[in-house]
Amino acid sequence: MAYGIEVIGEDSNGTYLVTDSSKDLINYVVVAKGTGTSVNLTSTQGLKPLVFIKPPSGATISDTLYGCQFASGNLRTFKKATLTYTSQNNSVTIGALSDATMDYFVVKDMTGVTYSGSDTYGLQILTSNGDVAVDSRRFLSNDTFTISNIKGARTVSGNGGQIYYDTTRRYVNSEFTQMFVAGNGVDQEEQIQAILWMSNQARFYGYYNDATFGPGNGGSTMYFNNFSTIMSAQLR
C-alpha cells in the first residue's frame, strides 16, 4: 500500500496479518482458553465475541451432537446428545441433553477488550470511523488463532453437511448452535443446530421435529441449511 501501516505477525507456524490500516480491519484477540462445560464471556462484549469449541481428546464423538445453550447473562453452557438415524423415513432425533466437556477458546474484537494496569505506552491504530483496530496493550495473552475454513449462511446442508475435512480435529464457532428439546417420546419437540465431529471432519445438523410430523409419529425430519456463518479454526 502507498501509505498507512501494515503489521505482520510471525510465530512457529509462519507469518500472518495482524492489521492493515488501509482496510479498516478491527483485530480479534484470544482472551480465554481452556476445557470445561461452560464459559462466561463477562460483561464486556465488544462487537461480536466468538466462542470456538471442539470435543477434547478421548471424548465420545460417534453419533454425538455438540452445541451451546445461551443462558441469561453472559454464560454459555456446552451440551451434547446422541443422534439416532432412521433410514425408513430419512429422519433423525436425539435423546436428552447433557452437559459436555469441551476444549474452547474465546476471541473478542479490540472494542470488547480492556487492559489491566495503567500502561500509557504502546501502539494504537484507529479505523477511519474512530474504532480501535489494534491496541498493543489489549493483547492479554501470547495465544493467536487462524480461521481455517468459512461456510456462508445457507451453504451447508442441515442433513449432515460438511463443515470441514482435515486430519486434525478443528475448533468450530458455537454462536450458530442451538440445542432445544421439550417433552418426551412422540410428544418431543426438537430444534437443533449442532455439530457432529468425526475422526477427520465435522458435519452440521440443523433440523426441526415436533409431535405432529416428527419420526416418533412416523413423519419425517424437517432439515434446514445453516442460518449464519460457520467457521473452523485452530490455535496457532
Residue 1, domain member (yes or no): no
Residue 138, domain member (yes or no): yes
Residue 43, domain member (yes or no): yes
Q: Which residues have CB under 8 Å from 95's CB, separation 6+?
A: 81, 82, 84
Containing domain of residue 224, as a range?
6-235
Q: What pLDDT is stored for residue 66 in this prediction?
A: 98
Residue 66 near residue 79, CB atoms below 8 Å: yes
Task: Kindly report the pTM of this predicted structure.
Answer: 0.88
Q: What pLDDT is stored for residue 220 in this prediction?
A: 84
pLDDT digits over 117-165, tens only?
Answer: 677 788 888 887 888 888 888 888 889 899 999 999 999 999 999 999 9
> Average of pLDDT values for 29-53?
89
Q: Which residues have CB under 8 Å from 142's CB, separation 6+?
A: none
pLDDT digits over 207-222, tens only?
Answer: 999 877 777 777 789 9
Number of domains in the chain: 1
Q: What pLDDT is stored for residue 19 in this prediction?
A: 75
Q: What pLDDT is stored for residue 72 in this prediction?
A: 65
Residue 26, domain member (yes or no): yes
pLDDT digits over 157-191, tens only?
Answer: 999 999 999 999 999 999 999 998 887 655 678 99
Q: What pLDDT is stored for residue 63 in this prediction?
A: 97
pLDDT digits over 9-22, tens only?
Answer: 887 778 887 777 77
Residue 199, domain member (yes or no): yes
Dihedral sign from CA coordinates of 51, 54, 58, 59: positive
The mean pLDDT value of the chain amounts to: 88
